[in-house]
Amino acid sequence: MPDFEVTTLDLVIVVIYILGILGLGIYIGRQQKDSGGFFLGGRGAIWPIIGLSLMSANLSGTSYVGLAGAGYDDGIAVWNYEWIATVVLVFFAVFILPFYLRSKVETMPEFLEKRYSRRTRYVFSGFSVVTAIFIDSAGALFAGALTLQLLFPEYSLWFLVVVIAVLAGGYVILGGLRAVMITDTVQAVLLLIVGTVIFFMLFREMGSWEAIRNAAPEGGFTLFKPADDDFLPAPGILTGVLWLGLYYWIANHVVVQKVLAARDTNHGRWGVLLAGALQLPFLFILIMPGMMGREFFPDLEDPDHIWPALVFDFLPVGIRGLALAALIAALMSTLDSVLNGSASMIINDFVKTRKKDMDEARLLWLSRAAVAGLMVIAALWAPMIGMFGNIVEYFQSFLGHLTMPVVVVFLGGLFWRGGTADAAFWTLAIGVPVGIIAFMLGQVLEVFQIQFLYAAGLMLLFSAALFVVVSLRTETGDTDLDELTWSRRFWDEESDELKEIPAWQNYRYIGIVLIAITAVMVAIFA
């Protein structure tokens, strides 16, 4: 292991970067005048901002370090999560996004109210806020602080948690979603540049693709692992990875909020497709560098240390500072999105629905106070995660058990007119507690042994059966579903409109090209 010594020049670069991000947030914050602008940026986001911001929020600090660590420990199989994301995002752009934007909702729980009922909105909003703060925010803070403690061992975990929370929360409180999206765009570019530089420096050192293949762990240079693999069995791609991707990209308000801020449907679609395209290079700029690192650091005790090891061993002073700034950017990008998205649900789903006459100045003040409060809660809880031993490793498994009812409710509502309000409510009210119990029995207490991607598939089947049975036994109600559920009519009408534009501007063709590139890459590394 190299000596993780941060030089003065590196620190200066990091400080300049942080001050620049905070300054940008303060500048943008001066333009906020109401809660709608604070949470949706005035619905004026253009497609490059949407795409890069989606990518940046997805590439959290834990992912940025964790993807390299997974490459080191297991090989390239973890890339299945990324290429599946590309497929899901194309599906989202083609079939789902127009319904979200036409409905003019401010949160994803609000969409469930339009499609089903207010009580379904409240249940999903409460679920989303709790998981976002106690899992996403606290988990990102805890894992980020552990990584920074490797670089700055003289500082306590508590101190580093507070620093990350204040940095990310500061410009969210001041600037709202517009600040989040613009700063995330800057951070996304930095993340891509640093990852690309490290890849090419390692490739030049190793000299050939054959050397890279030889550096992989046994069976690690393939995407599809045996069905009994502990980490990512090939059947688990269909039973778990696909559905986790659908939850994350089409139902998770923290993510979809950036799409709701789109200037129009076209900007939303192009932004989503850009985000889909940006998932594909993660194989080369994060996963493969981690795997290649086995050649230089064969005996790391913690695989997640490979990324900082490569940074400090291969990058010169100064450039190393940019890499550290990229790490901080990754930590901040997820946290800022979670804080703003969670506050958005609290204000829009619980405050506005009860206090319809509250003026915008007070709503804006409450919005900023909500961000601050959530930031404090996440920071206080984050260090406690260490008390649960290796529970951080179970976060993805935890979401796999809990989110399948959400996937069923959203897809069932969007593509089946027969889905009822009672079915949506009971699928969430029963499915989520069952998921928690299954997670505790299987993953924590180990009463039974089921790989979590298979367990996610079983939860999906249970939730779908519950949704269908209750729907068939209850009335659909008097909600007008024409603008809330997909039908062939939408496809035909849009096909006529697309005939009038050049092929290179047709989002369907762009989606087909993305799917084709994905298929070729998957075939190459299968």
pLDDT at res. 46 = 92
Residues sharing a CB contact under 8 Å with residue 379, sequence separation 6 or more, in sequence order: 141, 161, 162, 165
**What is the rounded average pLDDT of the residues 418-435?**
95
pLDDT at res. 169 = 80
Q: Please report, rounded to a whole number, the percentage of residues in the chain having pLDDT higher than 90.
A: 45
End-to-end CA distance of the chain: 32
What pLDDT, in 10s, does the model give residues 156-178? 888 988 888 888 787 677 777 77
Taking the domains of the chain in order of start, what are their residue ranges?
8-388+487-525
Six-digit token pair at 271? 């932004």
Q: For domain 8-388+487-525, which architecture applies?
A: Up-down Bundle (1.20)
pLDDT at res. 279 = 94
Running DSSP on this structure, what letter comes out for residue 219? T
Contact 276, 436 (CB under 8 A): no
Q: Please identify which residue in the block is written with the tokens 């450039």.
A: 319
Which phi and psi angles does 78 have, rounded to 5°?
-65, -20
Write down the pTM of the prediction: 0.91
Alpha helices in 232-353 (DSSP H): 235-236, 242-246, 253-260, 265-279, 282, 288-292, 306-314, 319-345
Q: Does 393 have pLDDT greater than 60?
A: no
What pLDDT, in 10s, does the model give residues 225-268? 999 998 899 999 999 999 999 999 999 998 899 999 999 999 99
What pLDDT, in 10s, does the model give residues 321-345? 888 887 777 777 777 788 888 989 9
Neighbours of 220 (CB within 10 A): 18
